[in-house]
Amino acid sequence: MYYNSTRNSSVKVSSAEAITQGISAEGGLFVPESIPSLTLDEISKIGDMKYADRAAYVFSKYLTDFTEAEIHYCTDNAYSTKNFETESIAELAHLFDGTYMLELWHGPTCAFKDMALQILPYFLTTSAKKINLDKKIVILVATSGDTGKAALEGFKDVEGTSIMVFYPEDGVSPMQKRQMKTQEGSNVGVCAIKGNFDDCQNGVKAIFTNDDVKSALEAKGMMFSSANSINWGRLVPQVVYYVSAYAELVKDGEINLGDKINIVVPTGNFGNILAAYYAKHMGIPVNKLICASNINNVLTDFINTGVYDRNRSFYATVSPSMDILISSNLERLLYLMTGRDDAQIREWFGKLASEGKYEVTADVKAKLQDEFAAGFCDDEHTKQTIHMIYEKYGYTCDTHTAVAVKVYNDYKAATGDTTKTVIASTASPYKFSAAVLEALEGVASDIDEYAKVDKISEISKLDIPAALADLKNKPERFSDVIDKSEQKEYVLNKLGV
Ligand SMILES: *Cc1c(COP(=O)(O)O)cnc(C)c1O
């Protein structure tokens, strides 16, 4: 299997090269040249495996330059109870009639990003060895809160790497900020940006694709790579849990092999839902992929109208990991939906950069609407939904997951579709404790963050994840705050370039 770039189809690299480079030189994203298939028979067999082996099975179809031993080295190290609090790794909770919560937050940082970022360092270091890359890999991350912490945990003290994380100063939850500022490890750095997530991400992309910076780094024996979902090594682990969830439902007798399911994903950068799209096109029977947004609803409008328009107000919401107006991974979807038309992608994404807006063809719009449904939910309804689910089912979910539940309920009411449905539950409710507690109690509380965590535990009867319980006692190690215009200088400075 080789990988092409969305902005130049003639680029052709191995998975090890795609993973180490992160992004293609001309700014495109790597995509596999075809989508490998899974037969129903294989899906059924996958149901009998443990999670690490399910992952290895899926990876063997994408990472064809890795040996079986290399793949198992990665999966066995990443997906064990050393790192995850549940044996199943991705826990499938049977919530209510025909609806299942795919809990992707039992890893070390309590958000779904761990599913990919626990394995990415193994993919990266294995890839580097395979292609005899004798350079120190510098990971630059832009984060809306969860990726940063998950990447820091994944890469801390990994030999041959260092990692630097940028987050929007006022755009993450107090718990997320504290998680990052107290990060341990000798090869880590964390810095706040006076700006929003898009500023952080644009800054990182600009540094990655700057030729002068690249050669300066090379002269010092270093190279950049990315832990954001622009890296294929971030995306492919996310395909696994959708395959795994389907196989699990069959095994549990909840559905028959071949039955279709819906998948609902609370979406920001479009990475998680794109992974569901890949799972579908590998052979997982899916009816609708439902894209749920908060009031930064650029994707809802895009799917409903075919016009992507980022020229709009940016809102800080109670689901901050979805406060994004430029969804990077959409580029991969559109590349596939245009029949891999790199010229078309260059035109649209050129327009997005210069005018903040583009419109897809009628053909692509029809394809989008055939595969996806979309909706959004504001903060008030997010909190109401958390309250409603708790009252009705005794289940406590986080704000992002609540957005997905609300959008799904709206979809069901509008369409009458009763297909069994998997909802991606993307974070532990403890990570967003202020909004979750306010939703549960019906009023905002002014007790401190840790008291809120204790209170949620009393109400929900959910164990407090060990990693969050420990935070209270950890010293803060990072406090830099810079202007977005200073990002490049900051990086070069820190690297001594
Ligand atoms: C990152 C994140 C999302 C959005 O996922 P994308 O892959 O960026 O669409 C949703 N919920 C939580 C909790 C997240 O951390």
Kindly give, in sequence order, each residue whose CB lies less than 8 Å from that of residue 413, ignoring residues fewer than 6 positions away: none
Give the model confidence (pLDDT) of 263-318 as tens digits.
999 999 999 999 999 999 999 999 999 999 999 999 999 999 999 999 999 999 99
pLDDT value at residue 198: 86
321 lines ligand 1 (CB under 6 A): yes
Give the model confidence (pLDDT) of 379-417 as tens digits.
999 999 999 999 999 999 999 999 999 999 999 999 999
Give the model confidence (pLDDT) of 10-39 as tens digits.
999 999 999 999 889 898 999 999 999 999
272 lines ligand 1 (CB under 6 A): yes
242 lines ligand 1 (CB under 6 A): no
- CA quadruple 417, 419, 425, 426: dihedral positive or negative? negative
- CA quadruple 315, 319, 321, 327: dihedral positive or negative? negative
CA–centroid distance, 410 to ligand 1, in Å, is 21
Segments of 97-160 assigned E as strands: 99-103, 136-142
Give the model confidence (pLDDT) of 230-240 as tens digits.
899 999 999 99
Segments of 46-176 assigned E as strands: 91-96, 99-103, 136-142, 161-168
Give the model confidence (pLDDT) of 87-112 as tens digits.
999 999 988 779 999 999 999 999 99
pLDDT value at residue 300: 98
CA–centroid distance, 403 to ligand 1, in Å, is 11
**113: annotated active-site residue:** yes
Q: What pTM was computed for the model?
A: 0.94
In angstroms, rounded to a whole number, what is the distance separating the alpha carbons of residues 379 and 381? 6
pLDDT band at 452 (very low <50, low <70, confident <90, very high): very high
Share of the chain above pLDDT 70, in %: 100
109 lines ligand 1 (CB under 6 A): no
* pLDDT mean across residues, the chain: 95
CA–centroid distance, 438 to ligand 1, in Å, is 22
Decide: 426 and 420 in contact? Cβ < 8 Å: no
What is the distance, to the nearest Å, from the Cα of residue 49 to the centroid of all Cα atoms in its chain? Answer: 24
At 99 the three-state DSSP class reads strand
Could you say which of 12, 113, 205, 461 is catalytic?
Answer: 113
* Pairing relationship of beta strands 188-194 and 99-103 according to DSSP bridges: unpaired
CA–centroid distance, 272 to ligand 1, in Å, is 7
Task: Please state the rounded mean pLDDT for residues 49-77.
Answer: 98
**Ligand 1 closest atom vs CA 271:** 7
**Ligand 1 closest atom vs CA 400:** 11
Rank 130-134, 145-149, 213-217, 270-274 by mean pLDDT and report only the highest: 270-274
